[in-house]
Chains A and B, each alone.
Chain A
């Protein structure tokens, strides 16, 4: 036990993957007092899919945008295309009024600006944008990655802790000799397979959740567990080779409350950035 705790604090003190000052301080404090109450460490991964489209504007924002657009239009100068169009309209009008004088030779077999505009209009009508609200949204299928394209999606996995099945961020126990970040990566690989393209930005954890085991299981050496959260961003959104485990969900921040316990949820909400 003493050896285990010694390794513990040695690692947290000198780990080259810079933990936050708070964790490092905690590690050092642990060295002195830890011989009595060791904690089990877990590394959890919060896998985020970034939004693909921007959120719709509020009513005031839309009005403001329309007003600014109007002001900008009225203050702007004519572009080359518009000048050309106006000139051609002038010419046409003059030609009609002067009743086929044709002093300017009709060598204008070039395309007129109006024709160009028509061509562009046709092209625009043929273009069809992808829908903002996808099928997965309509069916409320929370396992697909195609839902809620305008917000962050997080992966939740059902795990067995003790004798309970709980919805959690995927977590795996820390093993001596590895950094906490690699623990989290291992957790992600365990649930989603090896070929996940996710990027972790830093070596420091984003949050911590600690809990004590229920009295029945608690012993002198096994008081409770501390879970360190890391964040990763999904680079590519095709997970065809993934999904080994059974139950997984992709949820947004406001839907987290349906699945997570309140204490856990409080700690997780602290590091989630939702705009």
Chain B
């Protein structure tokens, strides 16, 4: 069963709810329509009886369909039945409530998620994408970072990197999260928060009186970086002290200024390109 079909059905029924009240009733949903197909003009004086009939029809319909194919059809049918129930509720309350509140009862124009067709006079209402400023096309090549003045008249640091390294990945990730949230709370601008590639070390034991190296353990080193900028020199010692005091066991902390070398270390080197360049020069 297509997952979208149920919603599509539901949407159509809701649309009918919010449209203007018509003297003739909307045709009932097709499933289980055998009993109800012929009903015409239930809006006449025999309202109560029609209602009862419809209710019977509904239950009949439900029962019959339930007897039929179960698993695949059931959710579809239930959606339909819910729509039909909604419609019945609307019809019942129609006499008492005016039209506008019926719209609200249906959920309002925004929530009812129906689009007007092109022939309708209200087509295009609510369009705003043409009012937004045009975005420049995205450049493929990444430019090198912009550097801020280090010690200016405001006594501010430029881009500062906080490196957190550990063997335990969960610990270092949680600590990086904590540092990031702390900087957010203290209104320190966080430029980036990224991870460096994991380094794997194999610890091998050399047996005494033997030359064979035996694999002892595999250690993975994880590193997370949080880059902040705009740290004032009066606040920097306080922030560093807080981070130091909250440093967990097993995490190595390093705070240093951002340099181009740090930026380059994140990029992969392309040996073929370098070879070709060397050949050219």
Contact = CB atoms under 8 A, between A and B. Distances in A.
A193 B237 CA distance: 25
Interface string A178-207: 000000000000000000000001111000
B249 interface: yes
A270 B215 CA distance: 53
Contacts of A231: 237, 241
A201 B242 CA distance: 12
Interface string A242-275: 0000000000000000000000000000000101
A201 B236 contact: yes
A273 B242 contact: yes
B71 interface: no
B237 A53 contact: no
A53 B249 contact: yes
A231 B242 CA distance: 13
Given A18-B155, A53-B249, A275-B245, A203 B236 contact: no
Interface in A26-76: 50-51, 53-54
A233 B234 contact: no
Interface in B143-178: 155
Contacts of B246: 275
Nearest to B241: A273
B55 interface: no
Interface string B8-26: 0000000000000000000
Contacts of B249: 53-54
B237 A50 contact: no
Interface residues of B, number: 13
Interface string B228-257: 000001101100111011101100000000
Nearest to A233: B244
Contacts of B240: 201
Nearest to A53: B249
Nearest to B216: A123
B151 to A, nearest CB: 9
Interface string A149-172: 000100000000000000000000
Nearest to A17: B233
B113 to A, nearest CB: 36
Contacts of A51: 245
Interface string A200-235: 011110000000000000000000000000010100
A21 B234 CA distance: 9
Interface of B: 155, 233-234, 236-237, 240-242, 244-246, 248-249
Given A18-B155, A21-B234, A275-B245, 9 more contacts: A18-B233, A50-B245, A202-B234, A202-B236, A202-B237, A203-B233, A231-B241, A273-B241, A275-B246
By Cβ-Cβ distance, the 10 closest A-B pairs, closest first, are: A202-B237, A201-B237, A18-B155, A204-B234, A201-B240, A54-B249, A18-B233, A275-B245, A20-B234, A202-B236
29 contacts: A18-B155, A18-B233, A18-B234, A21-B234, A50-B244, A51-B245, A53-B249, A54-B249, A152-B245, A201-B236, A201-B237, A201-B240, A201-B241, A202-B233, A202-B234, A202-B236, A202-B237, A203-B233, A204-B233, A204-B234, A204-B237, A231-B237, A231-B241, A233-B244, A273-B241, A273-B242, A273-B245, A275-B245, A275-B246
